[in-house]
């Protein structure tokens, strides 16, 4: 163990553009076991059947990465004050404005991994960005990067929640950080603002079956009619439970050129959205997170709101 290693890794992560970094011992997340089991047993994972897979691996990084000693959690800012010119009709979640974050963040993690190997110590390990087998929020919480809010997202007390989370799981022992307190207190703004009541009345549990983010992205079926007029114009993702969170008053503009949205996308009018063709979809969204729904999925969402 050498705290000098932590310092060097922190410095390199900052150089690469990560906002925050924290370290945890790679061991089974016993506290989360019951919570995850209840969430799955209640079917709150909706159509995301893959969440049922590899239960043990999801809780224990040593099952995922042989010889794992340390989970390094990192936050990458995507907040922007830029918005679509006409948000009164069709809205896209801000995390999806730019180039696919999986690629952008993964490239940076690869550089950090290489730096550790070349300059610090020979290590084996794996890189994860928004990856199903890893309980990213739980690891970020354990590493002291924030607490899990009632909206189920990680909230950093100085920077808010508009961040992509990612991890390096490596076989090198380092110094470990400690979790911080939960500062949601008596606030219920996210619960009150959620248009589909997807957040449990006591908070901390989000039912994906009712969450606009799931309904518009991972969901492969028709959107159930009970959500008619409740989508608040969202056709890809949803930012409402973050927009109302008081801790996001600390959010700062990101400085990642790859996340800058295309002007053509920001300037889309209601007519442009309704008349969106597959060719235009490809032109606007190739290489962005929106490509995930494919043309068919986005068109379904647009039609659901406009019909
Ligand atoms: S993302 Fe939207 S729909 Fe989902 S819990 Fe938050 S406010 Fe509710
Ligand atoms: S809106 Fe309030 S209750 Fe919800 S996550 Fe933010 S601080 Fe917590």
Q: pLDDT, tens digit, for every residue of 64-91?
A: 899 999 999 999 999 999 999 987 889 9
110-119, 133-142, 196-205, 281-290: which range is least confident on average? 133-142
Residue 1: pLDDT over 70: no
Mean per-residue pLDDT over the chain, rounded = 94
Q: In this structure, which residue's CA is closest to atom 7 in ligand 2?
A: 184
Please measure the distance between the N-terminal and C-terminal CA atoms of the chain and give it in whole angstroms: 61
**240 backbone dihedrals φ, ψ, rounded to 5°:** -60, -45
Distance 241 CA to ligand 1 centre (A): 6
Residue 2: pLDDT over 60: no
List 130, 171, 175, 182, catalytic entry: 130
Q: Is the CB of 150 under 6 A from ligand 2?
A: yes
Q: pLDDT, tens digit, for every residue of 20-57?
A: 999 999 999 988 888 888 888 888 787 777 777 777 77
Distance 162 CA to ligand 2 centre (A): 13
Mean pLDDT for 7-16 is 98
Q: In this structure, which residue's CA is closest to atom 2 in ligand 1?
A: 238
Q: How far apart, in whole angstroms, are the C-alpha atoms of residue 52 and residue 68?
A: 23
**138: Cβ contacts below 8 Å, ≥ 6 apart:** 29, 31, 32, 148
Tokens linked to 71 = 């989970």
182 catalytic? Reply is no
Distance 126 CA to ligand 2 centre (A): 32
């Amino acid at each position: 163990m050498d705290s000098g290693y932590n310092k060097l890794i922190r410095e390199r992560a900052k150089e690469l553009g990560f906002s925050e970094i924290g370290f945890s011992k790679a061991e089974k997340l016993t506290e989360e076991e019951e919570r995850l089991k209840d969430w799955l047993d209640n079917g709150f994972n909706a159509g995301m059947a893959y969440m049922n897979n590899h239960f043990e691996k999801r809780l224990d990084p040593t099952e995922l990465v042989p010889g794992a000693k340390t989970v390094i959690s990192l936050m990458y800012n995507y907040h922007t004050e830029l918005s679509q010119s006409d948000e009164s009709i069709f809205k896209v979640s801000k995390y999806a404005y730019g180039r696919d974050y999986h690629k952008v963040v993964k490239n940076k993690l690869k550089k950090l991994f290489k730096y550790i190997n070349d300059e610090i110590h020979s290590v084996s390990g794996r890189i994860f960005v928004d990856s199903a087998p890893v309980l990213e929020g739980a690891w970020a919480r354990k590493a002291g990067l924030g607490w899990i809010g009632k909206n189920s997202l990680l909230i950093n007390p100085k920077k808010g929640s508009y961040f992509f989370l990612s991890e390096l799981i490596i076989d090198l022992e380092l110094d470990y950080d400690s979790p911080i307190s939960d500062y949601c207190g008596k606030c219920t703004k996210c619960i009150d603002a959620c248009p589909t009541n997807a957040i449990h009345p006591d908070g901390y549990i989000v039912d994906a079956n009712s969450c606009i983010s799931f309904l518009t992205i991972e969901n492969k079926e028709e959107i159930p009619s009970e959500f008619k007029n409740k989508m608040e114009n969202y056709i890809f993702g949803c930012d409402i439970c973050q927009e109302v969170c008081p801790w996001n008053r600390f959010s700062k503009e990101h400085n990642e050129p790859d996340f800058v949205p295309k002007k053509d996308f920001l300037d889309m009018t209601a007519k442009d959205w309704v008349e969106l063709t597959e060719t235009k979809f490809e032109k606007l969204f190739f290489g962005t997170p929106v490509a995930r729904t494919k043309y068919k999925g986005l068109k379904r969402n647009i039609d659901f709101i406009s019909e």
